[in-house]
Amino acid sequence: MPLPLVAIVGRPNVGKSTLFNALLGRRVSIVDPTAGTTRDRVAALLRQGTKVVEIMDTGGIGLVDESRLEDHINAQVDIAIEAASIIVFVLDVRDGITPLDTRVADRLRRQERPVILAANKADGRALEHEVHEFQRLGLGEPVPLSALHRFNTREIRDRIMAMAPEAPPTPADDAPRIAIVGRRNAGKSTFLNALCGTGRVITADLPGTTRDAVDVRVSRKGREYVFIDTAGVVKKTKVDQSVEFYAQVRTVEAVERCDVALLLLDITEEISQTDKKVAALVVDAKKPLVIVGNKWDLSRSTSEKFEEYFRRTLPNLAFAPVSFASALEGRHLWETVDLALEVLAQSRTRIETAEVNRVFRRALEERTPRVGRTKVPKIYYATQVSVHPPSFVLFVNDPKLFPSTYRRFLENRLRAEFPFGEVPLRLTFRAKERAEAGGGRGRR
């Protein structure tokens, strides 16, 4: 059962994103004085008691900027209004009713959905009195507020929740969170739009059309998914504006909070340093991922040649599976998502301690690391301490006796023996005396 959708709409720079963040109590939408900072529909869950809604920030209505995205943004708002159960219409008290406000009000009245008028920037009693002017829009009594100073934002929240039904019995955040990452213009938003079957995320020929890390909830065959479309990572020399910088930070945060990532690579271009940077971002976060060769419809080569090229160019992703897809033509998209769910399941695998010790003991017998002549490396005991990623602690006589090459060897042995061959692993080496390690084993 889909959650009730609350759309925050209004013309540019009236404070929609500030209100969105205030309602959630954290910074989700990028806030900047530049009109049109929010170019996609950004969504998050809002909870109160037994009720849950999906609240959505939108691009400004009637926006014209240097990126020529007015038509795209207006289409986004149209889709948001059409899908919304509740609409929060944000206005600027200092500007009064503008012609654009009147046109938006006309559109909202035709939708016949509950509308909350949020008269923003009512800082001070003098401006509070100006709020009543908005009654002329014919959408009910306006609520004076200052989203920036958190004045009356609780009233907006309470009105939303009063209109919302009770939450469905199954929590919506059980849905897997899948981040779509990659450099600029790799086709991330087109990929997501094809999964949704709608123009959900703004796409254009301009690199960097997506600034926010956009959460999109999709239902398919009775299952829910949360896809996170991220801003493309760029070279540091190009990050010269606060909005672009913060969008890049948001990409890092999106990787941190996802369950699994799809790394989109444009197969019509060579793998760049930026591609490697994005790959390292996912690997460092120890997130399972699928390498996606996008724009497969434009390729004249074989999948085997491309996979060999990926393996050679991205050696730190040797464990990750590869999928080929065409976001533009909608080919092999859900098969790629299914593969992502497979590696996510692998990352949640737990192995019995006895089996873990058996594998490490045999590995050490077959191949002992060579680090000197005076001290022999020993593994006293090992255990899996957590999942996602599968994490192991090895109690050894001296961690320095296990160089990085040997640690990779042990990781590969684990992948070969157990059903998590395509996910990152975490191995931690701790120095223990033999008696101490044996005592720990006895307590278990």
The boundaries of every CATH 3.40.50.300 domain in the chain are 5-163, 175-347
CA dihedral 135, 137, 139, 141 (to 10 degrees): -10
Quick one: which H or E segment has residue 43?
Answer: strand 42-48
Which amino acid would we find at residue 176? P
CA angle 188, 192, 197 (to 5 degrees): 145
Which amino acid would we find at residue 418? F
Instruction: For domain 353-443, give the fold.
Output: GMP Synthetase; Chain A, domain 3 (3.30.300)
Q: What is the pLDDT of residue 31?
A: 42
Q: What is the pLDDT of residue 248?
A: 54
Per-residue pLDDT of the chain (444 residues; tens, 9 = 90+): 456 888 888 888 888 888 988 888 865 544 444 444 444 446 677 888 878 887 887 754 544 444 443 454 455 556 666 778 899 999 999 889 988 888 888 888 887 789 999 999 988 665 666 788 899 999 999 999 998 898 999 999 999 999 987 755 544 457 899 999 888 778 887 888 888 875 444 333 333 334 445 677 788 888 888 888 775 444 444 444 444 444 455 567 678 789 999 999 999 999 988 889 888 889 988 999 999 999 888 877 788 888 999 999 999 999 999 999 998 898 999 999 999 999 999 999 999 999 999 999 999 999 988 776 678 889 999 999 999 999 999 999 999 999 999 999 999 999 999 999 999 999 999 998 654 555 444 333
CA angle 178, 180, 182 (to 5 degrees): 150
CATH of domain 175-347: 3.40.50.300
CA–CA distances in Å: residue 288 to residues 230, 285, 422, 423: 17, 9, 8, 5
Cβ-defined contacts of 295-301 (< 8 Å, 24+): 295/187, 295/266, 295/267, 295/268, 295/326, 295/327, 295/328, 296/267, 296/324, 296/325, 296/326, 296/331, 296/332, 297/326, 297/328, 297/329, 297/331, 298/267, 298/268, 299/267, 299/268, 299/324
What confidence tens digit (pLDDT) does each residue in 110-153 have?
877 899 999 999 886 656 667 888 999 999 999 999 988 989 99
Residue 319 CA to residue 297 CA, distance in Å, equals: 25
Q: What is the pLDDT of residue 192?
A: 86
Residue 245 CA to residue 59 CA, distance in Å, equals: 19
Q: Which CATH superfamily is domain 5-163 in?
A: P-loop containing nucleotide triphosphate hydrolases (3.40.50.300)
Q: What is the pLDDT of residue 117?
A: 94
DSSP secondary structure, 215-265, as one string = EEEEEETTEEEEEEE-PPB--GGG--SHHHHHHHHHHHHHHHH-SEEEEEE
DSSP secondary structure, 329-395, as one string = TTBSHHHHHHHHHHHHHHHT----HHHHHHHHHHHHHH----S-SS----EEEEEEEETTTTEEEEE
Q: What is the pLDDT of residue 80?
A: 61
